[in-house]
Amino acid sequence: MPRWCLLLVKCLGCAVIEDTWHYFLHRLLHHKRIYKYIHKVHHEFQAPFGMEAEYAHPLETLILGTGFFIGIMLLCDHVIFLWAWVTIRLMETIDVHSGYDIPLNPLNLIPFYAGSRHHDFHHMNFIGNYASTFTWWDRIFGTDSQFIAYNEKMKKVGKKTE
Ligand SMILES: [Zn+2]
Ligand SMILES: [Zn+2]
């Protein structure tokens, strides 16, 4: 039985690998020449909900799902690790599609965790916020600029209505 701290570190490693894969391939799936053939299925819902997390074209499941397996191939040496990573990844993707930014959500304790507001905006806006779990790739490439502008605008609207 692997030590729990090793499990967590390896799961974090898998999440970083998956997030990187997801960012670039997801961004590619939004390319205007291929978007309508594959990724449009997942964007059928502008306001996502938990069960919609896995709702996608079979090719998308294959393309983006590959990122899930890369970490397993590189880091997995025990079946418990596989179960832990599957559980964490499913919890994460259902959380970001839930439409709820739940207070005291333990996932929000993870540094740079994107969360539901991040992915909710992606479904609402179609452009930007391409990463699955963390915010750094969108920050580095500036693909979160519309999300940041939107948040600023909402803050101003909120202040005016107070
Ligand atoms: Zn998308
Ligand atoms: Zn989605």
How many Cβ atoms from other residues are within 10 Å of residue 100's Cβ?
Answer: 13
Q: For the residues 124-136, what does the mean pLDDT come to?
A: 96
CA of 133 from ligand 1 middle (Å) equals 13
CA of 31 from ligand 2 middle (Å) equals 16
Contact 76, 92 (CB under 8 A): no
pTM: 0.92
Q: For the residues 23-29, what does the mean pLDDT come to?
A: 98
How far out from the chain centre does Cα 91 lie?
11
Number of H helices, E strands in the chain: 6, 0
CA of 152 from ligand 1 middle (Å) equals 22
Say which ligand is closest to the CA of 95: 2
Contact 103, 116 (CB under 8 A): no
DSSP state of 113: B
CA of 131 from ligand 2 middle (Å) equals 10
pLDDT tens for 53-106 read 889 999 999 999 999 999 999 998 899 999 999 999 999 999 999 999 988 998
- Label residue 52 by pLDDT band (50, 70, 90): confident
CA dist 151 and 29 (Å) reads 25
CA of 57 from ligand 1 middle (Å) equals 12
